[in-house]
Amino acid sequence: MAEGATGRKPLISGNWKMHNNHFEAIQLVQTLSYALSDDDYAVVDVSVHPPFTDIRSVQTVLDADRIPMLLGAQHCHFEEKGAFTGEVAPAMLAKLNVKLVIAGHSERRELFGETDEMVNAKVKAIIRNSMTPILCVGETLTEREAGQAETKVTGQVRAGLAGVTKAAVGAMVIAYEPIWAIGTGKTATPEDAQAMCAHVRAAVREVSGPDAAASVRIQYGGSVKAANAAELLTQPDIDGALVGGASLEAENFARIAQYRLH
């Protein structure tokens, strides 16, 4: 099967977080390009999300070497410009040929106090600048153990998509990342991951209708690695992966993108 549940290619995204200077980023993307073939790109989309300081360097390599990876960013502000020291406007990223921007990652929510309203404003700003948001949703271990996982995720989906057109929602990516599985080595079982991704799709259906729910790509994230990629990514409602630590090693990340072969 060459396509995900949506009829669109699965999206495998590497979130490098606060790792790699621009020299290391260039080396990583070049090594990754050697490990992936045209046959791989024919069945999956691959995006890399380096730190801001690396984006121009990675863009130059992707363009010069005609590497068919998508360039992504990890974050942006929701305003177009202004007195926001240390922030980056979405238009600045669009000028660098950034195609995808992560919005509402749990680390941004938990460590930097991003609210649902801020995430929603960011989603709209990303779309307004002709880029695709990867909207992150997910529950803590405490919320999961209290039976509140579905309620938490439903609330985040509704808030994140508020005021977004049905067509724009259908073109988006939503990443379900259980917070308790990020960087911990713990991973949701394939059955649990499938159930929650199906729940995300149902929440999208309630907010934006059946067409949007059928075409939105839903990623799973949370300690995804080569060893568990195939059993996660072959679930019917999982259309890709948002990969953290394993995306920092070209061989491992390539094997995740090639999950159909393993």
Q: What is the mean pLDDT of the chain?
A: 95
Q: Is residue 1 part of a domain?
A: no
Query: How does pLDDT run across 242-262, given as a tens digit for each residue?
Result: 999 999 999 999 999 999 886
Q: Is residue 120 part of a domain?
A: yes
| Residue 249: active-site member | no
Q: Is residue 80 part of a domain?
A: yes
Q: Is residue 209 part of a domain?
A: yes
Q: Is residue 153 part of a domain?
A: yes
CB count within 10 Å of CB 187 equals 20
The catalytic position among 105, 114, 139, 199 is 105
Q: Tell whether the model's pLDDT for residue 2 goes beyond 70.
A: no
Q: Is residue 199 part of a domain?
A: yes
| Residue 105: active-site member | yes
pLDDT of residue 261: 83
Average pLDDT over residues 151-166: 98
Range of the domain at 187: 11-261
Query: How does pLDDT run across 82-115, given as a tens digit for each residue?
Result: 999 999 999 999 999 999 999 999 999 999 999 9
| pTM, entire model | 0.96
- Residues whose CB is less than 8 angstroms from the CB of residue 146 and which lie 6 or more positions away in sequence, other chains included: none
Q: In which band, very low, low, confident or very high, does the pLDDT at 1 lie, cut at 50, 70 and 90?
A: very low
Q: Is residue 211 part of a domain?
A: yes
CB count within 10 Å of CB 134 equals 29
CATH number at residue 102: 3.20.20.70
> Taking Cα atoms as reference points, which of 155, 153, 150 lies closest to residue 175?
153
Report percent pLDDT > 90 for the chain.
Answer: 91
Q: In which band, very low, low, confident or very high, does the pLDDT at 5 lie, cut at 50, 70 and 90?
A: low
Average pLDDT over residues 152-158: 98
* Residue 100 backbone dihedrals phi, psi, to 5 degrees: -135, 140
Q: Is residue 2 part of a domain?
A: no
Domain count of the fold of the chain: 1
Q: In which band, very low, low, confident or very high, does the pLDDT at 212 lie, cut at 50, 70 and 90?
A: very high
Dist CA 17 CA 248 (whole Å): 9
